[in-house]
Amino acid sequence: MALRLIDSHAHLTSPDVLPHVEPILLRAKAAGVTHILNICTDPESLRQGILLASQHPHIRNAGATTPHDVAAEGESAFPLFEAAAREGKLSAVGETGLDYHYDYSPKALQQTFLKRYLRLAAETRLPVIFHCREAFADLFAIADAEYAGPAILHCFTGTFAEAQGVLKRGWYLSLSGIVTFKKSEMLREAAKLVPLSQLLIETDTPYLAPQSRRGKPNEPAFLPETAACIAEAKGISVDEVARASSENARKAFQF
């Protein structure tokens, strides 16, 4: 029986992907990807995402300004994401969060918008998709104080202890093609820790193509390689990974 997978995080309406999205969707279907959560990060990708979902019932949208971009357009874009969430056009709020690796937006401003998006998620009863890089202590502290709803830690690349912090809060932990990279032994060790009931898998299209496609634009059709790597790390069948991660995505995003 062919694998049936859900890509829990892909930027289908980013400028690099949207012009090629129809053949990308056909290849995804052929690879067994039944549903895709499209991540909208600015007003144009949101507009295009709503249109794409109206044309393809297996696609749903999430939206927020990323922590990188809140200084440039956080204030202007927030009302648009807020309206989409309140009008039922989003299945999740995000990706929002904290990224201290780069200085694209001040830390204090990132924290302010994270809190605003957490309040929006709570008010609309939508899950939150977190982006976090080198900022787990602050993310955990803010989330613990501000938010009690469901959450997803997207594209996890943290430590074993940080993975434990995600899991003990009951969040889903999503693994991307990075887990397949030759030097990602520590991440594969973290993958062993994740209960199947809290596992999601993603491509983060067009970024982070798995090892066999490294350096090429990623796409949902490449998701089986990530699923197979996680299955090998956990010592279970790829069918078990596919079934569990897909069921979790259906629950989280109402596919």
- Contact, 249 vs 35, CB < 8 A? yes
Under DSSP, the state recorded for 178 is G
- Contact, 93 vs 64, CB < 8 A? yes
Q: Is the pLDDT of residue 152 over 70?
A: yes
Q: In which band, very low, low, confident or very high, does the pLDDT at 2 lie, cut at 50, 70 and 90?
A: confident
Q: Is the pLDDT of residue 1 over 80?
A: no
Q: What is the CA radius of gyration of the chain?
A: 17
- Contact, 70 vs 109, CB < 8 A? yes
> What pLDDT shows up at residue 216?
96
24 vs 36: CA distance, rounded Å: 12
Mean model confidence pLDDT for the chain: 97
Beta-bridge partners for 60: 37
Each residue of 179-196: pLDDT tens digit? 999 999 999 999 999 999
Tell me the mean pLDDT in the region 203-218.
97
**Residue entry with tokens 């895709």:** 36
| Beta strand segments in the chain, E | 5-10, 33-40, 59-63, 92-99, 128-133, 151-153, 172-175, 199-201
Identity of the residue numbered 94: G
Each residue of 64-82: pLDDT tens digit? 999 999 999 999 999 999 9
Q: Answer yes or no: pTM beyond 0.95.
A: yes
Q: Is the pLDDT of residue 103 over 90?
A: no
Question: Going from the N-terminus, what domains does the chain have, and what CATH number goes with each?
Answer: 5-253 (3.20.20.140)
- Contact, 17 vs 206, CB < 8 A? yes
